[in-house]
Structure 1
Amino acid sequence: MVNSAASGPTSDDAGDLAARALRDSDAAVVISAAAVPEPVIAWVNGAFTRATGYPGPEAVGRGVGLLHGPGTDPVQVRRLARARGEGRSEVVTLLCYRRDGSTSWNHVAVSPVRDDAGRLTHWIDVHTDVTDSVDAPGRVPGDVVPGRRRGTGLGIVARVSELLADGDGARTLTAIADLLMQDVVTWAGFFLDDGGLRPAEDVEVGDVAPARARRHGPAPRTTVHEQALDLAEAHSAVDAAPDPVQQLLDGTLTGPLELALDADLPPRSAAGWLVRHLRERLAGTSVPVDRVTVLPVDGRERVLGLLVVVLPAEVAGVPGPAESVRTVLHLTARRVGMAVENQRLHAREHHIAQALQRAMLPVQAEVDGLDVWSHYAPSAAHAQVGGDWYDVLQVNPGVVVVVVGDVVGHDVEAAASMGQLRSVVRAYAFDQPSPGRVLQRVDQLVVGMRIPRAASLVLTTLTRTGDGWDLEYSRAGHLPPMLVRPSGVQPLTGALGLLVGYGGTARTSRRERLLPGDVLVFYTDGLVERRDRSLRDGMEALEAACAELSATDAAGIGEQLLARFGDAPEDDLAVVVVRVPDPGGESLAPGDQERRQRRWLLPNEAASIARARHAVLRTCHAWDFPDAPAAELVVSELVANAVLHGWGDVALRLADRGDGLRIEVEEANPAPPVPTEGHADAVGGYGMQIVERLADWGWHASGTGKLVWAHVRPVRRR
């Protein structure tokens, strides 16, 4: 395939019509080998030589960027590079440079060529000169790209608004940065001020963690030597020039700011960290850069972070085009700032409501004569915070009150209304023996208190009589509890009245007799309601699941129900399982691995340690685990450490792995557990040593905290 202006294999030998068409075409054609990082020209036709001045022997062996020059739009070049990297076709318009230095505007269409096995081997580039249609009278070619940017600026800002409306989190900010790189700038990246600058992709946008000491970089210095270096740097920086990036974050400088990447800056300053990070981040790219433009991402009251960009060569230093590009960047940064702040305000409201809600949930006490398990979980993915609650009250040694309720709504007001209503119900439950009378008095008081949200609840009184319990219940618009017994499942559908505060008439109660082995399942609608099925279908599914229960303890029953219904709740949910123990009942068979999992969510307080011990003892008894004392001691130490040194609620999980009991304790303090030799002048410090003697153990990071695990084996190997 050779002519006087091209090199390569001849078409006459093959007699190939397509080869002759490429050779004789008036369009400039380039065939290049699919090399990395840039394809290498393998053949050009005569039209290419006539259009560019490059003869075949001079073009072959050079990269496909042969025609690029200082005015070539780097954004369009990146579009081509991205298409080649993805193995797909693309068409762009480029300012190209001929061999003599003159320019022309070309439509460049690139297409992949694959072998019979589908492997990419070559590229065909077709260049079409469109200078006459682009280079209008009175306009120099260098103005075209900035003009195109001005024309598309409004569309870009609109697309940014769509991305912010459709998504949230770091991925949205990454998508916006990619959008800017397609049509506005050479490179873009967002950084959020999360107690110090961090790349947006490393920050949870809705993070509402308490304010941290200001730092810049992935990890603070912790050793005495490093802290001394920090102090020395702080003293040496007193007389140094102001940190412009920190001024931007503090709001004392409005920006935009031009920052040279070769500047010598204090390493622990905001500007020093940013320059160092950008050098490392851009080192492996083809972006030619010696300085960046930094814009503040403003919230309503403070600067939330930065938008850092590399301006294209044809825009940087040109007042008119640069101003239009900066307008797009300013509007983008402003919209991102408002969206991030709204997400954080929403997350903060959710955090406050959840903390308020959890503070009002009871610490489940041990009930003499009953096996009780409870579970509460908010649905962070769907409804956020709601007004679900439960209560288990030991009125006296022979009377237990169980309440499960749901306040309408999913916000702070719902959580506050739940707290008010729970207090009222609890007070009257201690005073009145009949659930119907309690709800009647609650109706009267709620009307007077003007609680703004409607609520449903079921209130049950269990009174010990002989070897069983008498059950009396009343419902205010709530779903019926399930009474599970060997003879079948009975939904307690009686004693139904209107929602709390809307009674108007006398409330009724219904009675049932509970015998050893009977189980009561109380729940809110979050357990059974889904968008893809009706509430009635959910109730029928729960009734069927209750009929198939095989666990012999309340925690096991609750775990089985959560495994069926609680993995992806679309509303927050509360579940309480009450079982009348059956002394003659059977334990789980050794091979029942499916049922051998338990979990509890415990408040971060000392009472949780005793509850955890009771939980593991009941579980070991139900599973016939022979080394219950060792498991009890390990759980006690791990939960005690979580309560003393951890943050937030404590998650306790137990699992039978066949060769022993797996214990997991999770909380929000990321600091690792450390075995010590004890404290010389105080009691304590030996907890992890005890765990180490009784079990294999370890830990790993989990979310924002850590998970500590221990494996207790019936027969120790040491």
Structure 2
Amino acid sequence: MVNSHATEPTSETTPANRGNGPVALPLTGPAPTAAALGAAFAATEVPYAVLRTQPSGIRVVWVNDALARAVGYAADTIVGLDVLADPRVRPTDPEAVREYRRGPSTHPVVLRRADGVHVRCVAHVSAVPAGADVPPGTLVAGVQDLTAELSASAEQAALVAEERRERRSLSLIARVSDLLMDVDEPHGLREIAALLESEVVERADFFLFDNGLWAADGLEPVRAGVARHHGPSGRMLSRCRQDPVGRLLAGTDGDVLELDLAAEHPEGTYAQWLSARLASDDADGDQRVVVQVVPGRRRPVGMLVVRPRGGGGTAALDASERTVVELVARRVGLSIDNVRLYDREHRLAETLQRAMLPEQAEVDGLDVWTYYSPNSDDVQVGGDWYDVLQIDPQTVGVVIGDVVGHDVEAAATMGQLRSVVRSYAFDITTPGPVLDRVDQLFGGMRIPRAASLVYSALVRGEGGCWTLRYSRAGHLPLLHVRDGRTRLLRGTGGRLVGFGEGGRATDEVELAPGDVVVYYTDGLVERRDRSLRAGLEELETVAAAVTARDAAGIGEDLLSRLADHPEDDVAVVVLRVPGTDDHLAGAVSPRRRRWALPSEPASIGRARHAVVRTCQAWEIPDAANAELVVSELVANAVLHGWGHVALQLYDTGDGLRIEVEDANPTPPVTTDGHPGRVGGFGMQIVERLADWGWRQSRGGKVVWAKVRPGSLPASARHA
């Protein structure tokens, strides 16, 4: 309020009182006239308007030049218009009129400019008391333009939203990276697709391309391209001109495309196959999907097909969503390439290594059991190896060794060393001179890997006795067991292979009937939490307590107690001199045996022979049924599975339990045979002879069968 009269300074307003409280400055001069006030309102840059409430609404009766410029009309043309509108209420709403009349208030309004643009503002409205020159219902409104504030707020909100999207994208990529650590799990890719569906898109599906296009829940590195549901073969790429998906897989048409699943696609193309698999039942819905290539190092390894939320194809994905889809595809492709590359190297090394290991040895006059397994935790291939040689009817050579490393080079070095030992073992019967010759040749070959081994020659004697002659080249000592007493055959340790200086010693031990000799590599006894000396002591303790009376039972007992969770490759050879009472009556053992068999037809015969020998050793009657069951199970694993086949036998006390494991997770099925050709009755035979079932395993599946004695008459069994 403007004072109409002058005031004198008081004690509270003196300079000495400054800083101690509010100071009232004196105002002097006459009060401004109505004309002066009108001129001031007209000259200010703050938009002002005088409004009047009428039965027809709230109308403008006067505006200053600032408001006229804001709306783009001449001041005299605005009078009578409704250029100020409250977006919340209608101008004719009685409640709105009463609200304006009550007193000072603030309202959101929209200025309707002459060019059609609406400017969002806020109006500070006050009622003017009625007087001689002021009609009732007069209002004065100061208008504040919110454009700058709203623009800054919108920009800030956009920045916050963008930052949130970036954080969400980074979080999603981090979770995808965690899932990619187990991309070769059965449902690894499905989990990544589910994560995309929860955060980014409506639907996501992975399809891998290797000898055909196939839907993938997880990666199958060993037999990529083989699945229950697979698309056209790789040869269909010749039809790429009519197939946009084929061009994408061929790498000739970019790395992303929009595919309409409802469109007609040529028969036999990838686009037609995808449409048949992914088309929605909603005929009126948007059927467009985004196909993102999953790139490998040299060529595409598959596709990621996503359906955006709400449809719309590629246009429905914003920049951050497109980036997420592309990054996920690239990371998945790199992981798949790494898994397949490692798997190829591993299978090459393992195949090389197993090809050089002998089959289960059959030696006249000796009971021999052999075992080899790479480290299951790291799934690596190393240089552990063994060999059993029938040098002549009276002499048997047994060797076990270890080459440093877990790769193809270690396996190749092992193969070279095995060949060298074999070549000299048949010419020289004494172990020491054999190792001398091996040293010379091995050193001349300049092989970079260090290696150790024990070579022994067993010579048949009188009365079932044998003489063991051996020489060690830096390897762990053999273990000799007689009547529950053990001793380590340390002999002359000697240097590693290739570092001998000539004249390696040969030690000799007489073996009586019932004696056992254990050859082994360090994976059987060495652990991070104990010393090697403690591991050797544990081996002696366990071996002394073994009650099994056959080489396989002894070996399985040692493995079950010492190598349940090995930290390195394990190779074991158990050699037993048969006793005079080898009917094995009353022998107590874990009654468990296992074999690792290559996925080849010859393994079927080996498995049958192993079951017959085991039934004889355990005195399980009616071995013919078990022989027939294991033959069918191993044959199915060889024909329909992949990877190596694991055979395990258990004596359950009331029968024999057979377990066969392979890397194919697809369950076995019983069929009615193949009309017009032989085969297809395998599981029917198993059903007649045994109770059977299957379960998933970490590496694929296990099919088990518990043989029922006397299921078929002898004539039927041998038909």
What TM bracket, shorter-length normalisation? 0.5 to 0.7
Please give the TM-score of this superposition, normalised by the length of structure 1.
0.67
Q: CA deviation at 1:332?
A: 3.5
Aligned partner of 2:447 in structure 1 is 451
Q: CA deviation at 1:642?
A: 6.7
Question: What amino acid sits opposite 1:163 in the alignment?
Answer: D
Query: Please, which of 514, 522, 536 is the counterpart of residue 533 of structure 2?
Result: 536
Write the distance in 2 (CA, Å) between the matches of 1:277 and 1:397. 65
Are positions 1:587 and 2:584 aligned together? Answer: yes
Conserved? CA contact 1:142–1:314, under 8 Å = no
Evaluate the alpha carbon distance shift between residue 191 and residue 617 of structure 1 in structure 2; reply closer, same or farther with a 3 A threshold.
closer
The Cα offsets for residues 483-539 of structure 1, whole Å up to 9 and x where unpaired, read as 122141112222211211122343112111111111111111222233344333332
Evaluate the alpha carbon distance shift between residue 510 and residue 545 of structure 1 in structure 2; reply closer, same or farther with a 3 A threshold.
same
Evaluate the alpha carbon distance shift between residue 359 and residue 380 of structure 1 in structure 2; reply closer, same or farther with a 3 A threshold.
same
Aligned partner of 1:476 in structure 2 is 473
Write the distance in 1 (CA, Å) between the matches of 2:189 and 2:268. 26
Evaluate the alpha carbon distance shift between residue 313 and residue 152 of structure 1 in structure 2; reply closer, same or farther with a 3 A threshold.
farther
Q: Which structure has the larger Rg over C-alpha atoms?
A: 2
Aligned partner of 2:271 in structure 1 is 271
Conserved? CA contact 2:240–2:246, under 8 Å = no
Q: CA deviation at 1:552?
A: 0.8
Evaluate the alpha carbon distance shift between residue 699 and residue 264 of structure 1 in structure 2; reply closer, same or farther with a 3 A threshold.
farther
Q: CA deviation at 1:470?
A: 0.7
Aligned partner of 2:163 in structure 1 is 148
Evaluate the alpha carbon distance shift between residue 658 and residue 416 of structure 1 in structure 2; reply closer, same or farther with a 3 A threshold.
same
Write the distance in 1 (CA, Å) between the matches of 2:150 and 2:443. 78
Query: Please, which of 134, 137, 159 is the counterpart of residue 174 of structure 2?
Result: 159
Matched position secondary structure for 1:202: coil
User: What pairs with 1:311-710 in structure 2 (closer than 5 Å)?
Assistant: 311=308, 322-382=318-378, 384-466=380-462, 467-585=464-582, 587-589=584-586, 595-603=590-598, 608=603, 611-628=606-623, 631-632=626-627, 649-665=644-660, 695-696=689-690, 700=694, 707=703, 709=705
Structure 2 alignment gaps of length 5 or more: 1-87, 90-119, 121-145, 715-719
Write the distance in 2 (CA, Å) between the matches of 1:326 and 1:193. 22
Write the distance in 1 (CA, Å) between the matches of 2:513 and 2:149. 89
Question: What amino acid sits opposite 1:202 in the alignment?
Answer: G
Conserved? CA contact 1:483–1:519, under 8 Å = yes
Using the TM superposition, name which of 705-714 and 288-297 deviates more: 705-714
Greater RCO, CA 8 A, separation 6+: 1
Write the distance in 2 (CA, Å) between the matches of 1:342 and 1:238. 28
Aligned partner of 2:25 in structure 1 is none
User: What pairs with 1:47-126 in structure 2 (closer than 5 Å)?
Assistant: none
Conserved? CA contact 1:356–1:415, under 8 Å = yes
Write the distance in 2 (CA, Å) between the matches of 1:239 and 1:435. 65
Conserved? CA contact 2:621–2:709, under 8 Å = no
Conserved? CA contact 1:603–1:648, under 8 Å = yes
Question: What amino acid sits opposite 1:147 in the alignment?
Answer: E
Write the distance in 2 (CA, Å) between the matches of 1:132 and 1:513. 104
The Cα offsets for residues 431-483 of structure 1, whole Å up to 9 and x where unpaired, read as 11111111111011001112221111111111111121111111112122221
Query: Please, which of 203, 215, 235 is the counterpart of residue 219 of structure 2?
Result: 203
Write the distance in 1 (CA, Å) between the matches of 2:238 and 2:605. 54
Evaluate the alpha carbon distance shift between residue 498 and residue 588 of structure 1 in structure 2; reply closer, same or farther with a 3 A threshold.
same
Matched position secondary structure for 1:582: coil
Using the TM superposition, name which of 564-573 and 462-471 deviates more: 564-573
Write the distance in 2 (CA, Å) between the matches of 1:595 and 1:157. 49
Matched position secondary structure for 2:341: helix
Write the distance in 2 (CA, Å) between the matches of 1:141 and 1:251. 42
Write the distance in 2 (CA, Å) between the matches of 1:442 and 1:556. 34
Aligned partner of 2:229 in structure 1 is 219
- The RMSD of aligned alpha carbons is 4.5
Aligned partner of 1:115 in structure 2 is none
The Cα offsets for residues 363-404 of structure 1, whole Å up to 9 and x where unpaired, read as 233101111111111224315111111101111111111111
Question: What amino acid sits opposite 2:657 in the alignment?
Answer: R
Aligned partner of 2:92 in structure 1 is none
Question: What amino acid sits opposite 1:623 in the alignment?
Answer: W
Question: What amino acid sits opposite 2:454 in the alignment?
Answer: V
Using the TM superposition, name which of 562-571 and 693-702 deviates more: 693-702
Question: What amino acid sits opposite 1:519 in the alignment?
Answer: V
Conserved? CA contact 1:634–1:694, under 8 Å = no
Write the distance in 2 (CA, Å) between the matches of 1:218 and 1:700. 18
Question: What amino acid sits opposite 2:229 in the alignment?
Answer: A
